[in-house]
Amino acid sequence: MADGNVLAAPAPAPAAVAPARPGALRRLARRRSTLAFVLTVPLLTVIGGLVVWPFFYAIYLSMLNKRMTRFVGLDNFAFLLSRETFQLVIMQSVIFAVGAVVAKALIGFILAHVLHALPAKGQRKWRGMLLVPWVIPPAISTLAWWWLFDPSYSAINWMLMGIGAPPVAWLGEPGWARFAVILVNVWYGAPFFMIMYLAALKSVPDQLYEAAAIDGATGWQKLRYVTVPMMKNIIAITVLFSLIVTFANFDIVRILTNGGPQDRTHIFGTYAFQVGIQSGDIPLGAAVSLFMFPVLALLAVFVLRDVTRRSREMAG
C-alpha cells in the first residue's frame, strides 16, 4: 500500500505543472544550452586558438618567401619536392613509420597472447615489467639508447665483441642508423600495442573458444577465426593511431641521430625543425610539416570511422 502510494505520487504532479510548462521548459532549455556553451568556451579557445588557427596560419606561412615579405604560392612545396634531401625525408618517414608500426603490432600481438595465456596472478607482474618502456618519457629513455649506441663505449658492441663479431657503427652508418631509430621506436611503442591487444583479448567471450574447441578447431584456427575477427576493430584503431604518432615522431630521431648521417634518418618532424627553426626558414619549415597533413588526415578519417563503429557496437 505504502509502496503503491510512493509509486503513484509523482504521476499527478506533471499534470498539475503542465500548464506552466512550455514556457518554463523553453527557458530552461535556453538556459541549459547557454550554460553548456559557456562550459565549452575554454575548450573551444584551446582548440580554436592553438590548434585550428595555427594550422591555417601554417598554410599561409608556407606560401611566403624566406624573409616572409612576398607571397610565392606553392613555390616552397615545389622546391622541396625537387630536392633530393627532401625525397629522402619522404622515403625515410614512410620506412620509419611502416617498419616500426608493423614490428610494434607483431610484438604487441605476440606479447598480449603470451600474457593472456598466463595464470592471472603472474600476469600482473609480467605486465608491469613489460610496460616500463612506455612509461619512461621517450626523450629520457632515448638518452640511454644513445649511450648504448655510443661509437667508442657501446655496451652492445662490447657484447658483440664477446661473441667475436665486429663492432657496428650504430649511428654512423646510414643503414644501421635507420635500423637504430626504428629499433628504439619499437622498443618504446610495442608495450602500448601489447596493452591494447590484451584489453581486447580479455573482452573476447570464453564461450566462443569453447564452441570452437567443441567443433575441433586447432589453436591456429581459433586464432584465425575467433581471435582476429573479434579484435579486428581494436587492431585497426591501434595500428592507424600508431601510424599517425610514429609518422609525426620527433623525439627519438632528434636525440639519437639528429637526422644524420648525411640526412639519411631525417623524418618530417625533425627535418621541419632543422629547416624552420635551426636554419630560420620558417615558410619552408611550415611547408615540410604540411606535407604530413594529407597522410595524417587520411589516417584520422579511418581512425574516426573505426572508433565510431566500435562505440556503436559496444552500445548495441
Closest by alpha carbon to 85, among 271, 243, 309? 271
Secondary structure letter of residue 18 according to DSSP: G
Give Cβ neighbours of residue 174 (< 8 Å, ≥ 6 apart).
261, 262, 264, 265
Backbone angles phi, psi at 136, to 5 degrees: -70, 130
Please state the separation of Cα 280 from the chain's center in Å: 29
What phi-psi label fits residue 83: left (phi over 0), alpha (psi between -120 and 50 degrees) or beta? beta
Which 148-167 residues touch other proteins, going by CB under 8 A?
148, 150, 152-153, 155, 158
Size of the site for other proteins (CB under 8 A): 93
CA dist., res. 169 & res. 224, Å (int): 41
Which 252-311 residues touch other proteins, going by CB under 8 A?
254-255, 268-269, 272-273, 276-277, 282, 285-286, 289-290, 292-293, 296, 299-300, 303-304, 307, 310-311
Asked if 36 interacts with other proteins (CB under 8 A), we say yes
For residue 254, the minimal CB distance to other proteins (Å) is 7
Q: Going residue by residue from 106 to 135, which x/- string records binding to other proteins, judged by CB under 8 A?
A: -x--xx--xx-xx-----x-x-xxxxxxxx
Asked if 57 interacts with other proteins (CB under 8 A), we say yes
For residue 198, the minimal CB distance to other proteins (Å) is 9
Asked if 43 interacts with other proteins (CB under 8 A), we say yes
Residue where the block lists cell 663479431: 165
Rank residues 127 and 173 by Cβ distance to other proteins and give the closer one. Answer: 127
Counted residue by residue, the chain has a size of 316
Which member of 21, 26, 27, 54 binds other proteins (CB under 8 A)? 54
CA dist., res. 269 & res. 292, Å (int): 9
By the 8 A CB rule, do 263 and 88 touch? yes
Rank residues 92 and 141 by Cβ distance to other proteins and give the closer one. Answer: 141
For residue 264, the minimal CB distance to other proteins (Å) is 19
Which member of 21, 25, 26, 40 binds other proteins (CB under 8 A)? 40
- Which one of the spans 42-50, 74-82, 94-102, 167-175 is the region binding other proteins (CB under 8 A)? 42-50
For residue 314, the minimal CB distance to other proteins (Å) is 8
**C-beta neighbour count of 62 within 10 angstroms:** 24
